[in-house]
Chains A and B, each alone.
Chain A
Amino acid sequence: MARRNTFEVDEDLESPFNARHLKRAMVYIRRHTKKMGLTLLLSAAASVSGLLGPTLLRWTVEDAIPGENLPLLALLAGCYLAATLLGILFTSIRARIMARVSQQIIFDIREDLFAHLQRLPFSYYDSRPAGKILVRIINYVNSVSDMLSNGIVNLILEIVNILFIIGFMLFTSPVLTLFVVGGLPFFVAVVWFIKPRQRKAWQEQSNKASNMNAFLAENIDGVRVSQLFARQQTNITVMERLSQAVRRCWLRAVFLANWVWVSSELLTQIVLSLLYIAGVYWLSGSSQAELGVLLAMALYLKSFWQPITNLANIYNGFVNNIAYLERIFETMDEPVEVADCENAAELPQIKGGVFFQNVTFAYEPGINILENLNLSVSAGQSVALVGPTGAGKTTVVNLISRFYNLTGGAILLDGGHDISRVTLRSLRAQMGIMLQDSFIFSGTVMDNIKYGRLDATDAEAEAAARAVQAHGFISEMEKGYFTEVNERGSRLSQGQRQLVSFARTLLADPRILILDEATSSIDTKTERLLQEGIAALIAGRTSFIIAHRLSTIKHCDRILYIGDKQVLEDGSHDQLIAKKGLYYQLYMAQVWGAPVI
């Protein structure tokens, strides 16, 4: 496994710059081809109505004023007004359409990105800071919106613009056109020189920003621990360092990017000078008409270089945003390790039999956690898993829910259904999993319980809470079930959180119940009461229980001792005690090893 990423480490992108990302973005843009085509037409129409202005102006100066022709003046003013209004109309429609298109594009990208994240395995989340994932969904997607909508339309418009101007110039004077266009290679050279550096600078900037966000998110979440350890000053120092790194990279990128317009404007002036010199010396003594050509070319020159400068700015934005786009698509390309296979069937309602056939599993290739494990649990049995820390107890239960794909072998449910051949949704819907960490979503306690079954009624949720002995403390809270809670700062104690997540699991009414250290933070008395509640619920369900306190599991139908990548012992408490093997040693150490009275 690659080293886990932290806020200290940049996430390097291997892929070199290519148009692939833009091409990929085209998928989102193409949906709006018609609208974008329409906006192109509208923009063109707006330009044409803008072009009417100078003509009307000429008539005013040449005809209306010398002729003191008031009606003509009124007519021309009316036309001018109409042209202006028409231009505004076209521009308004364009702006209206583009606002929708640009928002729709980022809406779509965000939806796809989020949907993809829902398919990614734990390991994706485990191996990088949450803040780095978060900025991709929120900040990066926001950043690219303008590029993918207005950026593209403007790009096309400017190119069309340039082509038109070149046409006009060639028509006016092919020789002088060479002068005007002659500056272009120099400009291209400048851009070419800056481009790789600029791209690198923006990438680095996005990396540093991502690092800072990761640190930020984690330290907001863990602020209580930092305060407990009086660690704030150190954190502030680290933050300052990360913040300075962002600043440094940003400045480098921006200072580089600004050379683009500086050089284009400078080149415009140089080319203009050359044009005048050439024009004046070569055309000296020529007719007035040819001097007119020179003046016209000087005007065209500006209209040629302005779009070039605009293009350079659009390009700048592209280079900047592609750094973000790369990150977005990189996340979308993240392989979905656990996915529905082709033709995955819906898992029908099962009874709860679980069969491991030669199951081998490794998180990292070559380091097997489990090897050729065979196990057969019939429906309704309660099975406890014991063994040393790190032996793979949690792994076994995670495999049943198919949180990871097996390296070898198969897990079957009720004899026939291979878990890798049914849909994940139908599989997990029949599992009730209580994890070691009980995450509380922000919302009411009720919302959190109903997370187990979304269509449950309040009464059902309350019944579940009662069954797990959570009703007592919930009803004591200021708004009872409708008290707002959240993950970080909520006043729920660790034990209370476990009770809430227990109610959540029970409400889901699963066929197979998995309790992974689920009761470790609950006081003994409550746990005892809780167990009474669970007793009824466990009946008729298959259950897998991991607990360190052997007293809580010794009544299970079966106890499996997991160790050495295998099930080493398998039997009821009494059988295993009689066997005087590993479980016996463990049990005796717990009960008698302590000088308890």
Chain B
Amino acid sequence: MFQLKWLWRSMEPKYRRLFVTGMVLSAVTCLMLLINPSLTKELVDEVIEKGNREPLLRLLGIMLAVTAVRLTLRYLMVVCLELASQDSVCSLRRRLFDVLMYQEIAFFNRNRTGDLMTRMTGDLDWCRHFIAWISFNTIDAVVTFLSTLILFFTVDWKLTLTMLAVTPVLLVTTKIHSNKIRPKFGAMRERLAEMNTAAQENIAGNRVVRAFAREEYEKQRFTEKNRAFFDAHLAINRQWMKFFPWLEGLANSMSLIAIFAGALFIILGSDLTLGSLSIFINLSWAMVMPMRNIGPLVNDIQRVTASASKVMEVYYARPLIVDRPTAVERPEPQGKIVFEQVHFSFGHKKVLKDISFEVLPGQTLAIIGPTGSGKSVLIQLLARFYDVQSGKILVDDWDVRDWKLQQLRSAVAPATQDVFLFSDTVEGNIIFGNEELTMEQTAKFAHMAAADEFVDAMPEQYNTIIGERGVGLSGGQRQRVALARALAMQAAVLVLDDTTSALDLETERYIQEQLRELTCTKIIIAQRISSVKDADLILVIEDGRITERGRHEELLQSRGYYWETHCLQNDGVHSESYQTRWVR
């Protein structure tokens, strides 16, 4: 139940006021329901039985007025609760999205998109449902039950107590049921998230599914998840069915007791009158209905609890990498980068060992090395996606941990190997990191990235919408848009992480010429010698260690990895390199 408390506490005060108003209105309108029956009684007694027409219109008028007021208040209650629930959910959603946006990579390693989507949609909706619906239904039930109870006590306390004899049993069974069904709702919610994940991956990987003709297999896998969800629902229903007869039986037995115990009382000569008994008989529904409603309410509350826990997990997720209290806004970044004996590992696996180098503003640093040698991690450390385990990274002579994260990242413009474009226009994608750009500037950067030609050939040029992840563009086109996006940031440090791998050499060469014009610091990670050879400093990273460093000519002299790669890439041009014919 602490989840519900949390939900209450997470509400902003003004929504809390709305919520409380809604609750009060719910109670008031519930009590107002008691007015008309007593007026009806008067109407029947006075007007119909005695034939006295005079109070008829007055009574009807009052009843109509009471109804009108009650309906108005009830509608207001709906308005209050809907507003409170929508506003709370909106602010929760904002908060959750906020958390997600600033969460580190490790978090996304643990939580799959489908699961996060379930939290942001279905689970949040249950929170809304609680505020807007379960809440007032609970109040309705409680108020109806209690007001009737008080009325009954005033009429005959002995019969009332007899009626209440079943409530302890009811409460105990309800508690047992509540405990048993809670994990089942939790399980069902997990199955939902798993199904969501299966569907999400199937959609995201639809090309691979088609390529391997795995549609049947995917259907099978999805059916499993769908079936598990189905089974989880039935398991809940089985538990509900165990409880339901008890609940119905016990609730209805209150009515039974009221009538027959009442009759017995009269026969046995208690001071209960027939008139008093008729009050019990006529109003016993007002005790029974709330009792019967307990079941669905308990179920709903357990369902909300399961969902709210999941929402809370995200709500309270704190990234480890945040601004230090001492971090301050720095002057305009210049782009000097220094790595001092940087060590970094993922778990037990050492990824970077003793990395030291220095790049001055405006210089070009190139990094080359085998796949998985830790080149990209270096950039992630620079942008502080992870913190180093020992050593230091300085930007403009300040430790990256003393920078404001946003400012640091704004100073580093990356064109990553994982080209993720968004479903937006070409223009929107290019100005992703710098929304103030004018159209001319956008076109200029597209031109620098050699993207202008194919963009101009598109049906709506810069207004053409690119699909999610850049579908519809070839690998080379995507890389060029991503490059333009990085250039458009006009940051102090430009990082090109294998950005030109899918481009033909001619285009790459053109881009290199364009980059030469830039005054920012450049870090180029590449597989091709042609991409790196003009750099001021070239690092060869193998297995997390800098094995060679220097300029192009120096590295060729040392006859190591760099030289070898150089020879491999220029085979046919250089006879001294070894040739591998891989096609017979």
Contacts and interface: CB of A to CB of B under 8 A. Distances in A.
Contacts of B569: 524, 551
Interface residues on B, range: 35 or more
B376 A138 contact: no
A434 to B, nearest CB: 8
A524 B528 contact: yes
Interface stretch (B215-223, B356-364, B516-524): B215-223
B454 A227 contact: no
10 contacts: A122-B471, A229-B414, A236-B101, A251-B82, A273-B60, A389-B474, A436-B475, A438-B208, A489-B109, A586-B506
A428 B347 contact: no
B217 A454 contact: yes
Q: 4 shortest A-B CB distances, which residue pairs?
A: A495-B371, A428-B213, A229-B433, A531-B582
B190 interface: no
Interface in A222-262: 222-236, 239-240, 243-244, 247, 250-251, 254-255, 258, 262
Given A111-B223, A258-B78, A284-B51, A228 B383 contact: yes
B78 A88 contact: no
Nearest to A127: B467
B564 A525 contact: yes
B330 interface: no
A88 B206 CA distance: 49
**Majority DSSP secondary structure for residues of A touching B:** helix
The B contact surface, by secondary structure, is: helix
Interface in A28-87: 57, 60-61, 64-65, 68-70, 73, 76-77, 80-81, 84-85, 87
A240 B248 contact: no
B476 A389 contact: yes
A486 interface: yes
A532 B582 CA distance: 5
B580 A531 contact: yes
Interface stretch (B11-19, B138-146, B335-343, B495-503): B495-503
A218 interface: yes
Given A111-B223, A508-B212, A525-B568, A73 B264 contact: yes
B381 interface: no
Given A118-B219, A269-B67, A239 B94 contact: yes
A251 B226 contact: no
B503 A95 contact: no
Given A222-B420, A424-B213, A435-B211, A107 B227 contact: yes
Interface stretch (A170-178, A183-191, A354-362, A587-595): A587-595
Most chain A CB within a 10 A radius of its CB, from B82, B107, B199, B383 = B199
Contacts, number: 463
Given A225-B432, A232-B406, A494-B498, 12 more contacts: A61-B278, A70-B264, A99-B234, A114-B226, A138-B195, A214-B423, A231-B432, A235-B101, A250-B82, A437-B475, A551-B570, A593-B506
B200 A134 contact: yes
B495 to A, nearest CB: 9
B53 A228 contact: no
Given A134-B117, A493-B372, A520-B475, A228 B56 contact: no
B113 A139 contact: no
Given A424-B213, A496-B372, A596 B121 contact: no
Interface string B391-423: 000000000000000100110111011101011
Interface in B439-476: 454, 457, 465-469, 471-472, 474-476
Contacts of B5: none
B532 to A, nearest CB: 12
Given A84-B256, A294-B48, A95 B244 contact: yes
B228 to A, nearest CB: 11
Contacts of B454: 389-390
Given A84-B249, A555-B583, A548 B369 contact: no
A127 B471 CA distance: 9
A442 interface: yes
Interface stretch (A18-26, A369-377, A534-542): A534-542
A338 to B, nearest CB: 9
Given A228-B416, A490-B109, A125 B101 contact: no
A520 B501 contact: yes
Contacts of A477: 349
Nearest to A213: B121
A488 B108 CA distance: 7
B105 interface: yes
B417 A494 contact: yes
Contacts of B475: 436-437, 517, 520
Given A80-B260, A126-B472, A524-B528, A549 B505 contact: yes
B503 A548 contact: yes
B465 A6 contact: yes
A379 B364 CA distance: 48
B56 A277 contact: yes
A227 B584 contact: no
Nearest to B72: A262
A217 B565 contact: no
B213 A487 contact: no
A236 B256 contact: no
B329 interface: no
A111 B226 contact: yes
B203 A229 contact: no
A197 B469 CA distance: 37
A425 B213 contact: yes
Contacts of B68: 266, 269
Contacts of B498: 494, 521
Contacts of B53: 280-281, 284
B550 interface: no
Given A250-B86, A280-B48, A6 B583 contact: no
Contacts of B477: 389-390
B90 to A, nearest CB: 5
Interface string B127-151: 0000000000000000000000000
Interface string A533-573: 01100110000000011010011110000000000000000
Contacts of B561: 525
Contacts of A111: 219, 222-223, 226
B112 interface: yes
A294 B204 CA distance: 67
A433 B263 contact: no
A493 B374 CA distance: 9
Given A131-B117, A230-B409, A234-B435, A551 B572 contact: yes
A230 B433 contact: yes
Contacts of B435: 234
A230 to B, nearest CB: 4
A401 interface: yes
A386 B489 CA distance: 33
B113 A488 contact: yes
A177 B202 CA distance: 59
Given A92-B245, A240-B94, A262-B74, A107 B226 contact: yes
A129 interface: yes
A313 interface: no
Interface string A269-305: 1101100110011001100000100110000000000
A439 B474 contact: no
A436 B211 CA distance: 12
B93 A521 contact: no
A435 B207 contact: yes
A584 interface: no
Contact of B527 (A85, A403, A522, A551): A522
A209 B107 CA distance: 25
Interface string A491-532: 101111001010010001000000001001111111110011
Given A262-B71, A489-B109, A551-B571, A451 B208 contact: yes
B208 A555 contact: no
Interface string A418-455: 00000011011101010111110110000000011010
Interface string B351-379: 00000000000000000111110001000
